Structure 1
Amino acid sequence: MPLNPALLDQLSAIFGDRLSTSAAVREHHGKDESHFPPCPPDAVVFALSTAEVAAAVKACAQHQTPVIAFGTGTSLEGHVAALRGGVCVDVAGMNAVLGVRPQDMDVTIQPGVTRKQLNEYLRDSGLFFPIDPGADASLGGMAATRASGTNAVRYGTMRDNVLSLEVVLPDGRVIRTASRARKSSAGYDLTRLFVGSEGTLGIITELTLRLQGIPEAVSAAVCPFPSVEAAMQTVILTIQSGIPVARIEFLDEVMADAVNRYSKTDHAVAPTLFFEFHGSAAGVREQAEKVQAIAADFGAPDFRWATSAEERTRLWAARHNAYYAGIALKPGCRAWTTDACVPISRLADCLMETRADLARCSLTSAIVGHVGDGNFHVMLLVDPKRPEDSAEAEAVNRRIVRRALAMDGTCTGEHGIGHGKMEFLDEEFGDGLDVMRRIKAAIDPQGIMNPGKIVS
């Protein structure tokens, strides 16, 4: 149903021509990179300050109207879909870096700052922000979905790198979740509560993030393997040996071929690991030599090195384009992407069972993974004109998730729940899901913040 005219008048008074009800703008804000169909809001407002976000939320609360935050739209579980209509608050224009403190190695930013923008800003400071999900996502969105990515094996996820947040609550109040201190025992950990809440408890309007020093030396390598199992055993032994690799990424032979075609690279069409090492020159060399020896023990002696910045950039650009490379295998199809994560000791088992499952599937599929922390993704290519494709992809996804849960893993390593994975939370958390519902009801009693996501 259309928005209450009184609410539209209030929003128009706040935002002027930064309020839009056009079909094209609404449709753009009702979809992300997932396979889900668009579900547009009734109106979109483009906020430029915390005060404007708070005013919009307060107006929506008065009219019991849903509110959905929007950053860059790169999420993968339907997070921005306006399932019950309402108002989308676009914070992309809130993209200022508010303060860098090199001595404390932290930075305060607005939520619309993207990870590439931040690292470009930091380039001459000797510092960088390490969380790299591939897409140039907004950092507010990355915090909201508890994102991670290629560097998580060494630097952790957004959970580990957010020091404090400013959040607009469902009634329009603004709170700060913590100070800039590196540790605290003061009360409940509100920062971790909002990191990963996917806009269901409030809208993040400011973030203070932990930074890292740019390593003295960086090297990278690509190594093909005779089998998926050999690659996974290399990963497991590398992690269990305590080698502090920065990244370990996996492509199966289908994805390696897709990346070659899309990015004009010439990697072997075989199960492949991408490695990156950070540290001192001597430390990087020692790490690389140890991993090279482990790989050789599993039948993969061919390390292809990328030591210059240009070579490394080209290497990781190809890896980051894997999503689009996979889609290009079947033009016109959409990607249904799974997101299982298991303890590192179960990674080989989970991946090999999944490979056997995919061999019985009629859909074109490929596997990529941030395997250094036990996380892998299956890309299933689905023709949107064939309902049977979606049904098969959904069945495969269910089996992958339940396989991961049976191995003490999780239904999502980094993409979040959105509305795509809600059915699995009860299996993963049991009575813990009821606690989540009670938290949601306590903070958002009207249920207006991104309704239909995480918990019903």
Structure 2
Amino acid sequence: MNLLESLKQKISGDRLSTNETVLLNHSKDESFHSGRLPDAVVFPKDTQEIVEVMKFANQNNIPVTAFGVGSGLEGAAIPMRGGISLDLQEMNKILEINPEDFLVRVQPGVTRKQLNKELGKYGLFFSVDPGADATIGGMAATNASGTTTVRYGAMKDNVRDLEVVLADGRVIRTGGKAKKSSSGYNLTELFVGSEGTLGIFTELTLQVYGISEVIMAARAVFPSVNHAVQAAHALITLGVPIARIELVEGETIKYVNHVIGTNYAEGDSLFLEFHGIKGSVETEVQVTKELFTEFGCYKFEFEIDSLGRTQLWEARHNSLYALIHNNPGKQVMNTDVCVPLSKLADAIEFTRKCMKESELQGDIIGHIGDGNFHAGVLIDPNNPYDMDRANLFNEKIVNFALSCGGTCTGEHGVGLGKMKYQPLQHGEALDVMKSIKQLLDPNGILNPGKIFYS
């Protein structure tokens, strides 16, 4: 009996597949990185089945790569050494909602929109919004963040506890329900962002928030990107508790208007959102409007109703796809650096200069309130000249970010694309990371070929 037949004895029904189409669907994510077919795809239904899969895989040195919905942008879900793609989408139950403690416990296959639809019945919401309707497990695996991070934090700030199946099949819990603890090592933050290289998440306990009495969105248009960045920095410095503040370049808004059918002013813009009670929000909006005029803001418009706000954030989230739509046959290489706020204007100015020098078309968007921005350039992955220019562009941006104390990835994760920058960013600390990996996964079966070169 071969290994696949042995595994079928542990996974009943059609939850183990070697169908060519299923394998192909699990061979890559939304990044430009080349795919790799797994040997089999397993759709576990509970923690115990994952325990059985991990014990079997560990005993037989079979690679296991966790898979959510494939919305990642750095190749973290690509099974680089074949083996088992562990699709967690059937583990999609919301197990417990605890409104009194502002906590929710979910399985890893629950998606962001699914969770917020259910939480809305209790007047609650989960804050982390990376744009894609990703699974909660995948978001935790990459320490996702997004448009609301400036106020509510990234995944690491909102995960209280994890149930994790280790490489040898042991099941551990990393935290608890309390808001803080000084007991032992912080295993929760160790596993959040580990990209499936240390264990498989089977349950996650998350912090949630009450939906504000008043939510108001706005668009502010500036004469240049630099004016917009400086205005955003001034707003954060002033201490206005902004919930979202996003940079969208004017050229990108042209694409968005064309593809989505909006009619936004086609200038370099900040998209904003304010959360709070009526009086406080009105004051914050007025203060923001007055402050922005000092930085040349020539148009400031509100979106008060939910339909207008939804359209605004759909436009922001779809900006990348609008760029691709206007350039059929191309893909986007997306940079993902994060820098200290004091260096943000310099970083974006440097990025725009490098983009011009590369002679590649692209745009700059970003979660400007926390120093994280994305410069996406259009490429043909099959064109070596395109790839050489794009890789050089990316390298320049990363090196600039690292030189001022930033990071090569603010939210997309390391995956495949950022491995080469790990020694430069972490130095000898990288050896400590490798030691942790060796301790928890001595056979190297968990998502091999990711984060650092083994």
TM-score (norm 1): 0.98
Larger displacement relative to structure 2 (414-423 or 19-28): 19-28
Report matched runs for 1:258-407 at 5 Å.
258-407=255-404
For the residue of structure 1 that corresponds to 2:114, the secondary structure is helix
Residue type of the alignment partner of 1:347:
L
Uncovered stretches (5+) of structure 2, i.e. residues with no partner: none
For residue 18 of structure 2, what is the aligned residue in structure 1? 21
Residue type of the alignment partner of 1:308:
D
Out of 232, 240, 255, the residue aligned to residue 235 of structure 1 is: 232
Give the conservation status (yes or no) of the 8 Å contact 2:420–2:452: no
Identical counterparts, % of pairs? 49
Residue type of the alignment partner of 2:441:
D
Residue type of the alignment partner of 2:273:
E
TM-superposed deviation, 1:384: 2.9
CA offsets, 1:41-78, max 9 Å, x none? 11100111111111111111110010000011000000
Out of 144, 147, 157, the residue aligned to residue 147 of structure 1 is: 144
CA offsets, 1:155-195, max 9 Å, x none? 00000000000001000111111111111111111111100
Give the conservation status (yes or no) of the 8 Å contact 2:89–2:108: yes
Whole-Å Cα distance in 2 between the matches of residues 102 and 433 of structure 1? 40
Report matched runs for 1:41-440 at 5 Å.
41-440=38-437
Corresponding position: 1:442 with 2:406: no
Residue type of the alignment partner of 2:320:
Y
TM-superposed deviation, 1:15: 3.2
Uncovered stretches (5+) of structure 1, i.e. residues with no partner: none
Whole-Å Cα distance in 1 between the matches of residues 380 and 227 of structure 2? 33
How many residues of Structure 1 are paired with residues of Structure 2 in the alignment? 453
Q: Which 4+ runs in 1 deviate beyond 3 A?
A: none
Whole-Å Cα distance in 1 between the matches of residues 5 and 353 of structure 2? 54
Larger displacement relative to structure 2 (230-239 or 16-25): 16-25
Give the conservation status (yes or no) of the 8 Å contact 1:145–1:414: yes
Residue type of the alignment partner of 2:282:
R
TM-superposed deviation, 1:10: 2.2
CA offsets, 1:340-367, max 9 Å, x none? 1101111000000111111112221111
Residue type of the alignment partner of 1:202:
G
Cα RMSD of the aligned pairs, angstroms, is 1.1
Whole-Å Cα distance in 2 between the matches of residues 61 and 445 of structure 1? 9
For the residue of structure 2 that corresponds to 1:47, the secondary structure is coil
TM-score (norm 2): 0.98
CA offsets, 1:172-223, max 9 Å, x none? 1111111111111111111111000000000001000001010010101011
TM-superposed deviation, 1:12: 4.4
Whole-Å Cα distance in 2 between the matches of residues 382 and 88 of structure 1? 28
For the residue of structure 1 that corresponds to 2:178, the secondary structure is coil
TM-superposed deviation, 1:262: 1.4
For the residue of structure 1 that corresponds to 2:220, the secondary structure is strand
Whole-Å Cα distance in 1 between the matches of residues 12 and 212 of structure 2? 44
Whole-Å Cα distance in 1 between the matches of residues 44 and 319 of structure 2? 33
Whole-Å Cα distance in 1 between the matches of residues 251 and 23 of structure 2? 36
Give the conservation status (yes or no) of the 8 Å contact 2:10–2:52: no
Whole-Å Cα distance in 1 between the matches of residues 150 and 387 of structure 2? 32
Out of 440, 450, 453, the residue aligned to residue 453 of structure 1 is: 450
TM-superposed deviation, 1:91: 0.4
TM-superposed deviation, 1:413: 0.5
Whole-Å Cα distance in 2 between the matches of residues 364 and 329 of structure 1? 11
Whole-Å Cα distance in 1 between the matches of residues 365 and 85 of structure 2? 32
CA offsets, 1:297-347, max 9 Å, x none? 011141111001111011111111112112112111111111011011110
TM-superposed deviation, 1:107: 0.4
Whole-Å Cα distance in 2 between the matches of residues 279 and 67 of structure 1? 44
TM-superposed deviation, 1:6: 2.7
CA offsets, 1:274-319, max 9 Å, x none? 0100001111111111111111001114111100111101111111
Give the conservation status (yes or no) of the 8 Å contact 2:131–2:317: yes
Whole-Å Cα distance in 1 between the matches of residues 254 and 33 of structure 2? 27
CA offsets, 1:119-147, max 9 Å, x none? 00111201110100000000000000000
Residue type of the alignment partner of 1:251:
V
Whole-Å Cα distance in 2 between the matches of residues 141 and 117 of structure 1? 14
Whole-Å Cα distance in 2 between the matches of residues 322 and 442 of structure 1? 42
Give the conservation status (yes or no) of the 8 Å contact 1:162–1:208: yes
Give the conservation status (yes or no) of the 8 Å contact 1:292–1:301: no
For residue 32 of structure 1, what is the aligned residue in structure 2? 29
TM-superposed deviation, 1:18: 1.1
Whole-Å Cα distance in 1 between the matches of residues 333 and 355 of structure 2? 13
For the residue of structure 1 that corresponds to 2:299, the secondary structure is coil
